[in-house]
Amino acid sequence: MAVFRIDRLRPGAPSAGGIGARLTGLVSARPGAASRIDARYVRVAEYLLAAAIGAVLVTTLITLGSPVMTPSAAPRQSVATPGASIDGPVNPFRTAGGPVASLPADFNAGPDIAETTLNLVLHGTWLDADGGAAIIKTSDEKQSRFSQGDVIADGVTLERVYADRVIINRGGVRESLRLINRENRVASGAPADAQAGSGSDPDGLAPIAIGSLIVAEPRIDDIGVTRLALMPAGDKKAFKALGLRDGDLLVAIDNRSVAEDFDEGIGAVAALAGRASVTISVERDGAIVPIELKLTDTANERASDE
């Protein structure tokens, strides 16, 4: 019986040994390829993980750096004391003898406290719901505006502001400081020759005292200096007839400067009582305007109106 070998029937077919060698090569080559593929996936996974960690860190830093959001508080209700409300327009500076606007009774009448013996002069008071303020000349001849609680001098503080006075605290002792009475100064501060000549003029009509037409009110300008502002004392027509405008700042009287010394300005205004005419300079809209006041002409005009 003849035995045939398959490899001999197919001369072009590989031998069994060749096939085994190829299979062995393929099997031995596959683990290396798998290792190369796995390394790529691992590297990509590492990149993705690093990116995720970086994103978490950035988010954490932003959260820590941002302000904590808290619910907004309800608006605070303002509570005013019974004596703190002021109804209607109020003349900011109250001067002795001047009208008092509609103010609470607490502001109109200060407590009965002994007058201070300190060398202080109260020139004006400012009334508001925050406690008010006062213009006070201290012993160094300087005028300043003091608010409630401010130190006026060593050991002296402003405790309370009223319409006609202030209460100061002097080393724990409360004392009163009243406004200067400008009406008395106008009546008694005029020179004797001016008072003697006030009873006659060319037309037989006595000139109207300037105190009855003009009110000099203290006013603090833009640089904090106290100036005298001229206001009508009720008769706006007569005030305008003098050539004045409401709010003119007094600069000089008879070419004598009164802008730097508040007391000197008050005294100069008081000395005008009984004069028939006077030349003054006022500051109006940033310009100095000289005005000659014809008091006799104004008196005649008022007499004719009556």
What pLDDT digit, counting tens, does each position of 10-33 carry?
Answer: 555 555 555 555 555 554 555 555
Separation between Cα atoms, residue 3 and residue 281, nearest integer Å:
150
In this structure, is residue 258 part of a structural domain? yes
Given 178, 196, 219, which residue is the final one in a domain? 178
- The residue assigned the tokens 């327009």 is 89
Q: Into how many domains does the chain fold?
A: 2
Q: Which of 62-76, 177-191, 246-260 has the lowest mean pLDDT?
A: 177-191
The parent domain of residue 107 ranges over: 93-178
DSSP 3-state of 293: strand
Which of 116 and 204 is assigned the larger pLDDT? 116
On average, the pLDDT of the chain sits at 66
Q: pLDDT class for 304, splitting at 50, 70, 90? A: low
Separation between Cα atoms, residue 200 and residue 205, nearest integer Å:
7
In this structure, is residue 58 part of a structural domain? no
Whole-model pTM over 0.95: no
Residue type, 286: G
Separation between Cα atoms, residue 305 and residue 163, nearest integer Å:
35
In this structure, is residue 59 part of a structural domain? no
Separation between Cα atoms, residue 196 and residue 188, nearest integer Å:
13
At residue 103, the pLDDT reads 43
Residue 164 and residue 187 in one domain: no
Separation between Cα atoms, residue 282 and residue 250, nearest integer Å:
5
For position 168, which CATH number holds?
Answer: 2.30.30.830
